[in-house]
Amino acid sequence: MKPDPLALALVLSLALVLPGVAPAATPTAGAGDWPVDAFNRKPAEGDLALPMPCGGTMVFRPVDVPGGAVFADQKITLGGGSPDRAFIENAHPDYLSGSFAEKNAWRYYIAKYELTAAQYAAIAGPCPDASKMDLWLPKVGITPGEATVAAESYSAWLFANARKSLPGDGKAPGFVRLPTEAEWEYAARGGAKVGPSDFDARHPPMDGPESGAIWYDGPESADKELQLVGLLAANPLGLHDMLGNAAELVQDLFRLNRVGRPHGRAGAFVKRGGDYRTPLAEIHSGLRQEFDLFDAKGLRREATTGTRFVLAAAALPSRDRLEALRQGWTALTEQSHSPLAEQQSDPRAELKTLSEFTSQLDFPEKAEVKRRLLNLAGVIDANIASRNEERDRAAREMLRVAVFAAGQLPTALDNAERCGKLMALNAAQYKERCDRVQADSKFDSQYYLDHVTRMLAEFPVPILEGQLGTLGSDLHAQGMLDAEGRVDHVFSDLKTLQAKGATAHKGILGGWKGR
């Protein structure tokens, strides 16, 4: 049997290139506290600071995935919408959960900053001089194998030296590893801290221009130079430099996309987020690239690529969790297969019964089969008709909510614009009131954009279009003529959002000004 090239590459990476880092190694003990700017330039509420060898620290941020049941997970849409990169980044559904139980959520932690040169040196040894600012740069030129072993070695050090500081389930503490693609992208987009429209956007929400939150190639930004971690603004989850600066290696192997599913061929590793040499037009939350293990010089090392760690836990950390999963699985399977009882009460059960019965048929029983098949056809038709009616009602009601939400936009947007002009004139006496006006306008705008985004996710556009006439008639009959006049405008926004995605947000809102 030929050796697997991927396994061989990892062995080379770990055995030949990084002799100072091994799975069982315990790096040198602490050598004094580091300056805070070396590991947490911008402290924030919710930071989880874990000790490191050599007196260092690594800071993590919590990422909560809604859902409290033991089998709860969140369906999310990952990837981008660019046709020329669809085979690499095509938008696709995925499912995500966390490791640590919180109230109505499952949590994992992701490093607040990219892994720095000082932190990597502290793990690999010998202890660095953390006062040197060049060590506050991201650790680049790292291989996937080195990144994996560094995470493992740091976990071993934490287990031996700071076990009580680790979140965990009973006797099973959490551990450090590389993030999965889903964990990385969910965090990069802002997770549950943002609404659906902002989650689907190319970049997470930010105050001011992109140069205030992303290091990209341009004279106003990185200008082809690697930057110290944490200098720019954080994303909604409090994470810095998720997009730009150093690209980040993740746990997964690179796979292409086929229409509707991943392609079956696994390649090398994946790096995410772009880097300081990437043009802004190419950087977005769905950007993914393959990191090949080898180049002309041997093991591949890129001056643009580093990583960041996550803090997670085993899926089966304790006997209590195992028992809870058993009970949860039983509940799921009972829920999925419960409606079987009587003839024709469930078309699926009836089809199964007929299928089993048909294989044993003798000629005299054919009449009974025909009768039951005809009855079953009637049941299926009735179910389909009922389902379609419920779907149409739901689509119509979502459109109705959008029409009423749109009714708030002209006033909210116009008031916010007037306040902006007042503040430009330094009318300080209006600041408190204008702050409230601006906040209300932002809420109304975001609610509308989130709602139309959800509509597109829930219903095909033709289904929504089919409800326009009925909704218009309902509003007209109720004397709501202004609302009736907004129906077509809302549908136009839906088609624009479908065609252009989140880039259309500004134009959509602008279309409601002065109406």
pLDDT given for residue 359 in this prediction = 54
Specify whether the backbone of 224 is left (phi greater than 0), alpha (psi in -120 to 50) or beta: left
Q: Are 240 and 178 in contact (CB under 8 A)?
A: no
Span 267-271, mean pLDDT? 96
For range 81-109, the mean pLDDT:
88
Average pLDDT over residues 430-450: 92
Classify 313 as helix, strand or coil. Answer: coil
pLDDT at 458: 87
**366 band by pLDDT with thresholds 50, 70 and 90:** low
68 compared with 241, residue with greater pLDDT: 241
Band of pLDDT at residue 24, cut at 50, 70 and 90: very low
What percent of the chain has a predicted confidence (pLDDT) above 90? 58
DSSP class of residue 246 equals S
Q: Kind of pairing, strands 298-299 and 294-295? A: antiparallel
Question: Does 117 score more than 90 pLDDT?
Answer: yes
Q: Considering only CA atoms, which of 281, 269, 147, 270 is closest in space to residue 214?
A: 281
Q: Return the closest-CA partner of residue 59 out of 34, 79, 26.
A: 34
Q: Does the pLDDT at position 10 exceed 60?
A: no
Q: Is 170 exposed, middle or buried (0-12, 13-18, 19+ CB in 10 A)?
A: exposed
Q: Domains along the chain?
A: 5-34+46-320 (3.90.1580.10), 391-510 (no CATH)
Cα separation of 301 and 291, whole Å?
10
Residue 9 φ/ψ, nearest 5 degrees: -65, -40
Question: What pLDDT is recorded for position 6?
Answer: 40
What band does 426 get if pLDDT is binned at 50, 70 and 90?
Answer: confident
Least confident of 54-63, 93-102, 259-268: 259-268
Per-residue pLDDT band for 343 (boundaries 50, 70, 90) equals: very low
Which of these, 159, 139, 151, 157, lies nearest to 180 by C-alpha position?
Answer: 151
Looking at residue 76, its pLDDT comes to 87
Question: Could you tell me the end-to-end alpha-carbon distance of the chain, in angstroms, rounded to an integer?
Answer: 72
Contact 195, 223 (CB under 8 A): no
DSSP secondary structure string, 267-324? EEEEEES--TTS-GGG--TT-EEEE-SEETTEE---TTEEE--EEE--SS-SHHHHHH
Residue 344 has pLDDT above 70, yes or no: no
Residue 349 clears pLDDT 70, i.e. is over it: no
Quick one: three-class SS letters along 129-182? CCCCHHHHCECCCCCHHHHHHHHHHHHHHHHHHCHHHCCEECCEECEEECCCHH
Pairing mode, strands 294-295 and 288-291? unpaired
Task: Name the phi and psi angles at 304, rounded to 5.
Answer: -110, 0
Query: How much is the pLDDT for 357?
Result: 59
74 closest CA partner among 92, 97, 44, 55: 97
Is the pLDDT reported for residue 191 higher than 70? yes
The SS3 call for residue 103 is coil
Q: Provide, for the chain, the percentages of residues in helix, strand and coil under a 3-state DSSP scheme, each rounded to the nearest 5.
A: 50, 15, 35
Torsion 21-23-29-32 (CA) sign: positive
With 90 as the cut, is the pLDDT of residue 369 above it? no
Cβ(268)–Cβ(291) below 8 Å: yes
Rounded-to-integer distance, Cα 392 and Cα 336, Å: 25
Question: Do strands 247-258 and 305-307 pair parallel, antiparallel, or not at all (unpaired)?
Answer: parallel
pLDDT band at 2; cut points 50, 70, 90 = very low
* pLDDT tens digit sequence for 38-47: 999 999 999 9
For residue 310, give the nearest of 260, 239, 391, 407 by alpha carbon: 239
Residue 177 has pLDDT above 60, yes or no: yes
Q: If you average pLDDT over residues 387-396, what whole number do you get?
A: 87
3-class DSSP string for 55-87: HCEEEEEEEEEECCCCCCCEEEEECECCHHHHH
Region of residue 426 (left: phi > 0; alpha: psi -120 to 50; beta: else): left
Residue 485 in tokens:
């006049």
Provide mean pLDDT across the span 368-380: 69
Q: Report d(CA 253, CA 271) in Å as an integer.
A: 10
Judge if the upstream peptide bond of residue 126 is cis by omega within 30 degrees of 0: yes
Mean pLDDT within 281-287? 95
Least confident of 81-85, 148-152, 510-514: 81-85
CA–chain centroid gap for 199, Å, is 8
pLDDT mean over 314-336: 77
pLDDT in the model for residue 89: 87
Of 114-118, 371-375, 396-400, 510-514, highest mean pLDDT = 114-118
In contact, 490 and 512? CB cutoff 8 Å: no
Mean pLDDT of 194-216: 93
Q: How crowded is residue 366: how many other Cβ atoms within 10 Å of its Cβ?
A: 11
Beta strands in 401-450 (DSSP E): none
Which tops the pLDDT comparison, 359 or 486?
486
Predicted local confidence at residue 133, as pLDDT: 95
Q: Tell me 215's DSSP state.
A: B
CB 509 within 8 A of CB 443: no
Q: In the numeric block, which tokens belong to residue 199?
A: 């989650």
CA pair distance 180, 287, nearest whole angstrom: 14
With a threshold of 0.85, does the pTM exceed it?
Answer: no
